Chains A and B, each alone.
Chain A
Amino acid sequence: MKTIAYFPGCAMKDQARPDEAGTLHALALLGYEVTEIPRWNCCGTVYSLAQDDLMRHVGPVRNLVRVQGMGEGRVLTLCAMCYGTLARSARFVAEPERLARINAFLDTEDDFRGGIEVVHLLTLLRDEVGYEKLAAQVKRTLDGLKVGTYYGCVLLRPRLFAVDDPDRPEVMERVVEALGGTPVAFPERTECCGAYLTVGRTDIVGDRVGRILRSARGGGAEVVVTTCPLCQFNLDERRPAGAPTLPVLYLGQLLAWAMGLDEPAVAALVSKEPATGRPVSTGV
C-alpha cells in the first residue's frame, strides 16, 4: 500500500459525495491508502489573480500546512478547481517575501515551508499507477463504450500548471482506453464550462454547455466524463433545452465500475440499458 494525503474539497463532500466514495474505493483497490487531511478548509475555489492580495492565499496555504503537518510531501485532489487553486497558490507563496508574510499572518499554525506537490487523480493514474498497470488491474472492460473526454480549462490552463499538453491533451483518453473504453477527443473538450458563473449567469453557462455537449455528441460520444465536480454539475444541471441528453459522469465512476464496484449509471451504459434517476455510485 502507498499512502497519500487527500484533500476532498467541498463539492466532493456535498453534491459529489457518491463520486468520491466510488473513486476512493477504486484507489484502495489500486493499492493506495488515502488519508483525508485533518480539518481542511475550502481551497478558495477561484484562484485569485490579484498580485497584492495575499489574504486570498491564506485558505489554500493553510491546507498545505496541514499536509505538511501529516509528514506528507504531496496531496491528492479529485477536483480540477481544487487542483488549480492549491497548485497555483503553493507556487505563488514560494517567493520568500510572500512566504514570510503569509507565515506571519498564520501565526497560530506551523510555518509553511513550501515543497508540497499537488497531485490530481489523472496525473496519479498516469505517472504512478501507469496505463499498462491500470489496464492489467481492470476487473471488467467498458466494452468499447464511446467516452467523450472533457477536460475543461483548469486542468490545462495556465500552461505552467497544465496536467498535460494544453493544446493536445491525451491523459484522459489514455485512461479511458486502459479501462476498455473508446475515447472521443471532441473539439470542444478543453473549452470552459462557465465555471462559477453558474451562480449568477446561468445563461452564459447554458450556452457553453450546449456547445460542449453538441461537440461531444457530434464526435459520437455516448457519455461525457469530467474530472471536476463543478464541470460535471454544469454540463449536467445547466444543460439548456434542446441540448444532447447524453449522461455526464465523473471519471472516477468509470474507474470504480472497471475495478468491479457497483456503479449503476455505468452498468446501464455498458449494457445499453436506459439509466434511471441521477447516476450515483455506491462504492463504499
Chain B
Amino acid sequence: MNEITVFIMGKGYRVPAGLTIMKAMEYAGYRLARGCGCRGGYCGACATVYRLPGDYKLYADLACQTPVQDGMYIAQLPFTPAERPAYTLGDLKAEGQTLLALFPELARCVACNTCTKACPQKLEVMDAVQASLRGDIRGVAEFTFDCVSCGLCTMRCPAEISHHHVWQLARRLNGAYLTPRAEHVQTRVAEIAAGKFKAELDKLVTMTKDELVAAYKARQIEA
C-alpha cells in the first residue's frame, strides 16, 4: 500500500495516499463527533486548515473534499464562534444600510482579500463584503449563493467580520423582498381551490384497484 505521512494536530501518522483529510483522520483513529457532517461538501461542518512542507501559505479547505498530501500539517476547526445579532426579517428593509446597521464591523474591512483566499468554495468573499458596504444586497446574495457557512473566512478575517451570518441575512432579504413573487403559483392555487381538478380527482378516488392499475399503465408519460 502506498502510504504517506501526515501530521494531525501535531502528531505524525502513516496513512494511505488518496484518502481525504477526514478519512485519514478516521484511519488514524480519530472518532469525529463534531467537525463532520454530510461528507459531501455541502454542510460546511469540516473546516480545516493545513500547511505543506516548504510553503509559507496557510491553506483552508473542507476535510471531506481535500485529499491528503505527504508532509501535510492538519488542524481541524470543529466550530467557528461568530456573532449573529437577533433580528426579525419582517421588520427589516432590503435597503442600503440594513446590513451595516446590524453588522457594523463590516466597515472595518481593509480589502486585504484574506477571506477570499480562505474560501473552500472559491467564492469572491471580499467582493461580497464590499457589496455589503455599498448596500448591494442582491449582489451579496449572488456572490454568496454557494456559501456553506464553514466559517473559514470568519476565522481568518483581520476585521473580525462574521461573514456567513451577514450572507445569510442578505440572502434572506433578497429572497423575501428583492426576488420577484411567483405570481403563477398563486394563480394555480386559486384555480385548484376553485375546483379545476375536482372531477378528475373524484374519479381517481372512486376507481377499483384494477381500474387504477390499468389507468396507471395507460398514463401519458411525456407530453
- For A10, the chain B residues whose CB sits under 8 A away are 130, 133-135
Q: Are A15 and B109 in contact (CB under 8 A)?
A: no
Q: B108-141: contact bitstring with A at CB < 8 Å (1 yes, 0 no)?
A: 0111110011000000101100100111100000
- Given A62-B113, A108-B117, decide whether A39 and B124 contact each other with a Cβ distance below 8 A: yes
- Whether B96 sits at the interface, judged by CB under 8 Å, is yes
Shortest Cβ distance from residue A88 to the other chain B in the assembled complex, whole angstroms: 15
Secondary structure at the A interface, as helix, strand, loop or mixed, is: loop
- Whether A74 sits at the interface, judged by CB under 8 Å, is no
**One of A13, A59, A108 near B111 (C-beta < 8 A):** A59
- Whether B175 sits at the interface, judged by CB under 8 Å, is no
- Given A14-B96, A15-B96, decide whether A59 and B110 contact each other with a Cβ distance below 8 A: yes
Q: Are B110 and A55 in contact (CB under 8 A)?
A: yes
Shortest Cβ distance from residue A170 to the other chain B in the assembled complex, whole angstroms: 33
- For A15, the chain B residues whose CB sits under 8 A away are 96
Give the complex CA separation of A39 and B131 in angstroms: 10
- State how many residues of chain A have any CB contact under 8 Å with chain B: 18
CB interface residues, B 85-126, toward A, < 8 Å:
96-97, 109-113, 116-117, 124, 126
A-B contact count (CB 8 A): 47
Shortest Cβ distance from residue B135 to the other chain A in the assembled complex, whole angstroms: 4
- For A108, the chain B residues whose CB sits under 8 A away are 113, 116-117
- Whether B12 sits at the interface, judged by CB under 8 Å, is no
- For B124, the chain A residues whose CB sits under 8 A away are 39
**One of B130, B134, B135, B158 near A55 (C-beta < 8 A):** B158
**One of A14, A39, A106 near B127 (C-beta < 8 A):** A39
- For B96, the chain A residues whose CB sits under 8 A away are 14-15
- Whether A162 sits at the interface, judged by CB under 8 Å, is no
**One of B97, B126, B136 near A41 (C-beta < 8 A):** B126
**One of B112, B130, B136 near A42 (C-beta < 8 A):** B130
- What are 23 A-B pairs at a CB distance below 8 A? A10-B130, A10-B133, A10-B135, A13-B134, A13-B135, A14-B134, A14-B135, A15-B96, A39-B124, A41-B126, A41-B130, A42-B109, A44-B111, A55-B112, A56-B110, A58-B111, A58-B112, A58-B113, A105-B112, A106-B113, A108-B113, A108-B116, A108-B117
Residues of A that sit less than 8 Å from B by CB: 10, 13-15, 39-42, 44, 55-56, 58-59, 62, 105-106, 108-109
Across the A-B interface, give the 9 residue pairs with the lowest CB-CB distance, nearest first: A59-B111, A10-B134, A41-B111, A41-B130, A14-B135, A14-B96, A13-B134, A58-B112, A14-B134
Given contacts A14-B135, A59-B109, A106-B113, 6 further A-B contacts (CB under 8 A): A10-B135, A41-B130, A42-B109, A42-B111, A44-B110, A109-B113
